[in-house]
Structure 1
Amino acid sequence: MPIIGAKAFGGAPLSGDRLVRVVYLDESGHSSNEDAAIVSGVILDPDKQWLLLTNEIEALKHKVPEQFRDNFVFHATDLESGGKYRRDWSDEERWTLLNELLALPRKLNIPLVAGFFTSGLTEMAIHFGSLKLCTR
């Protein structure tokens, strides 16, 4: 049932009764040596997608070698370059798992968002995980 009179931030009327979305964002890292930054993420409809995504991620964790499975966190850098896993987990297996992880948004119809900027256009200050953009 629509919420009567409710409007989106842009002023358009809202439709439907499931208005909440959960947004997960991450930034590419930052340093004074970098001249660009990227922020990307997913927008979840928690009523429809959260449990599906959680189950898919848990299923992928079972593909992680058993010696690494406890407290395993998917981190693209570790899966791509190997890091602490390089000796005991083949590149091909890590890359296959990373590709399966990256395929989940398309598989589950989860929207992706991304933004970037270069130091020539803007400055970036990151404070305790929040992103603050300042134009010059």
Structure 2
Amino acid sequence: MSGLLIKPAAPAFYSVRRYVWHNKAAARPTAKEPNPIITWNFVARIRPFCSHFFSTPHRQIRWSLEVLGLHPDYQGKGYGRELVDNGLLRAKNDPAGALPVCVVAADCKEAFYLKVRFNEIVGDTTKTVGKDGSDNPLREKMLGGGSGFMDEVK
């Protein structure tokens, strides 16, 4: 029961916290960049440029593997594969049934995800423009990565 109360309250708490205790390392709005990309607005700023990748009926309900990263000293030792395999196994054993799994790859990591059982690149968030012709902030800043992968878990 307490989990039901905490989940909706958490975003409000963190919004107030960000307002009261500013992150001094975060990008600040400027005249040139009134709405800079930061951790708290990243998804909202990017969603219009990639939501169509995940909007088909069989992809609307899915598992997402997020923030899978390894320190370079530990790369190439199988830890990344273990993380992905664990995520895929959890999705496969979901009580709701086997759901597709998605991941958005960082720059130059597409080969890794193709190697660890992801079989379909559904798009690249850094190469899209808005329906109204607006430029994608990732593309505008010439940031790489953003390939969306899907794996149909069976």
- Scaled by the length of structure 2, the TM-score of the pair is 0.23
Query: Quick check: which one's strand share is greater?
Result: 1
Higher Rg of the two aligned structures: 1
Structure 1 or 2: more helix by fraction: 2
> Structure 1-normalised TM-score?
0.26
